Amino acid sequence: MSSTENIIDYNKKGLPPIFGIFGFGLFGIGLGLSILAYLIEPVRSAYNNVILLEFLSSIGIGSLFLIALEYVVGAVWSTPFRRVFEILSSVLLILPLVAIPVYLHAHDIFHWTHLEVVASDPILNEKSPYLNMTFFTIRIIAYFVIWILFHLLITHNSKKQDVTKDIKLTKLNTKLSAIFLPLFAITLTFSSIDWLMSLEPHWFSTIFGVYYFAGTFLAAIAAGTYLVIWLNEKGLLVKGIGKDHYYSLGALLFGFINFWAYIAFSQYLLIWYANLPEETVWFLQRWNGSWMYFSIFFVVIHFLVPYFALLSQPSKMNPKTLKFMSVWIILAHFFDLYWIVMPTFSREGFVFGWIEIGFLLLGLGIVIVVFNLKAKNQNLVAIGDPRLKRGLDFRL
């Protein structure tokens, strides 16, 4: 494999300044609006903060999952832009900061934290060994520790490989990934239960973790796809990434649009069929008042539009379509979380105002700013990866 080293023609170039300025702009506006929102409507802001937290964790942990999956299955096609996903996953480092305001407002948004209510409610009383503040705190700390630990280990090895070009580091990362994947499955499932499902503590759905995972992975692929195409068009990645790579990303995106719809519908169909009051309450809430219109609209934006936009083979290779649909899907995932979280806050009908927009801008801003900062001091391509040449030669 020594011959590959000479072929890779990569010169580190900085990202265009407009990227950082745009990111800081979004971040600044978003942060300002969110702080203002916390001063005016703290409870509504805390709910929005849950959306923000889960949005960022989607992009961060989804990217890390994709990297781990590629290591474990020995994927070659994705090596030229694995680093983009590695940098995206550094969003995980910011997560604890974003979680602090939610944690401080836990009493406002989590019904099960009201001990006097729990004592008089037989269902919540039975659930209290799991849903109590002490165990909750231990769990969320455990998630952050596990995620950030594996993020640091895997990206550290990958960066070290840029210099040493040692295949052993790939093997080490493969082992780390194999350990990470089951931990990922458990932590992601339970974190979705803790942050999202426990907003309605009486309700339960056994497929909820998978549902959140589908959205998570979709958002991460979308964010990565956009950045890969954009960076490649600016010539910041290595030469040789072309429509075969775009097609693979597009196919992954398309596949997980279907997977999301499949899981979302499975959850709905079983609850609709069994028609048990303790399960249907969640969907009835999302059919209440103007939420009904939002739910119907949501099926269109999260499934029908992206499905038909990416159905044909040429559309999966077209950079313009892919970039547009990536942004679309990132926003759709935001609305997915909005649809999960906000009906608990506003039961009569949906509310969407400057507060929601502020937190959305803050979320996008954080991703861009973190990416910009992290991209400054490392290569945008894993130039030391022994599989890189094969990845560039990948053809359909």
Partner 1 sequence: MDEKILYGYSGLFDTPDEIIEAANKTAESKFKKYDVHTPYPVHGMDDAMKLKPSRLPYVALVVGLSAMFGMLGFMYWISTVDYPVIVGGKPFFSFPAWVPVLFEITVLSASIATVVAMIAIFFKFPNISHPLHDTDFMKSVTSDKYGISIDVTDDENVEEAKLFLQSIGANNVTAIYWDNDEVNFKNSVLQPKFLALLLVLVIGVSGATYFTLNKLMFMAPFNWMREQAKYIPQEKSTFFSDEFAMRNPVAGTVQRGLLPYKFTKKPEESAALINPLEVTKPNLDLGKKKYDIYCSPCHGYFAEGDSRMRGQFPNPPSLHSEKVRNWSDGRIFNVLTDGQNVMPSYAYQLTRNERWAVILYVRALQRSLNAKESDLK
| Interacting residues with partner 1 (CB under 8 A) | 265, 268-269, 272-273, 275, 311-314, 394-396
Cβ atoms within 10 Å, residue 289: 14
Q: How far is the CB of 272 from partner 1 (least distance, A)?
A: 5
DSSP-assigned letters across all residues of 353-380: SHHHHHHHHHHHHHHHHHHHHHHHTS-S
Q: Check: CB of residue 93 under 8 Å from CB of residue 148.
A: yes
Measured CA to CA, the distance from residue 196 to residue 180 in angstroms comes to: 23
φ, ψ dihedrals at 359, nearest 5°: -70, -35
Q: In this complex, which beta carbon is closest to partner 1, that of residue 247 or of residue 291?
A: 247
Single-letter code of the amino acid located at 189: T
Residue 221's SS3 state is helix
Q: How far is the CB of 312 from partner 1 (least distance, A)?
A: 7
Measured CA to CA, the distance from residue 28 to residue 169 in angstroms comes to: 39
Q: How far is the CB of 275 from partner 1 (least distance, A)?
A: 7
Q: In this complex, which beta carbon is closest to partner 1, that of residue 203 or of residue 394?
A: 394
Q: How far is CA 63 from CA 69, 203, 258, 281, in A?
A: 10, 30, 19, 33
Q: Check: CB of residue 362 under 8 Å from CB of residue 48.
A: no
Q: In this complex, which beta carbon is closest to partner 1, that of residue 169 or of residue 309?
A: 309
Torsion, CA 9, CA 374, CA 154, CA 13, rounded to 10: 0
Q: In this complex, which beta carbon is closest to partner 1, that of residue 348 or of residue 393?
A: 393
Q: How far is the CB of 202 from partner 1 (least distance, A)?
A: 23
H or E element: which one contains 160?
A: helix 133-164
Q: How far is the CB of 306 from partner 1 (least distance, A)?
A: 17
Q: In this complex, which beta carbon is closest to partner 1, that of residue 164 or of residue 266?
A: 266
Measured CA to CA, the distance from residue 160 to residue 67 in angstroms comes to: 16
Q: How far is the CB of 273 from partner 1 (least distance, A)?
A: 7
Q: Check: CB of residue 225 under 8 Å from CB of residue 250.
A: yes
Q: How far is the CB of 395 from partner 1 (least distance, A)?
A: 3
Q: In this complex, which beta carbon is closest to partner 1, that of residue 320 or of residue 395?
A: 395
For residue 378, give the nearest of 17, 8, 82, 59 by alpha carbon. Answer: 82
Q: In this complex, which beta carbon is closest to partner 1, that of residue 235 or of residue 242?
A: 242
Q: How far is the CB of 270 from partner 1 (least distance, A)?
A: 10
Q: How far is the CB of 304 from partner 1 (least distance, A)?
A: 13
H or E element: which one contains 84?
A: helix 82-88
Tell me how long the chain is: 396
Q: In this complex, which beta carbon is closest to partner 1, that of residue 266 or of residue 290?
A: 266
For residue 81, give the nearest of 335, 375, 315, 370 by alpha carbon. Answer: 375
Q: In this complex, which beta carbon is closest to partner 1, that of residue 77 or of residue 359?
A: 77
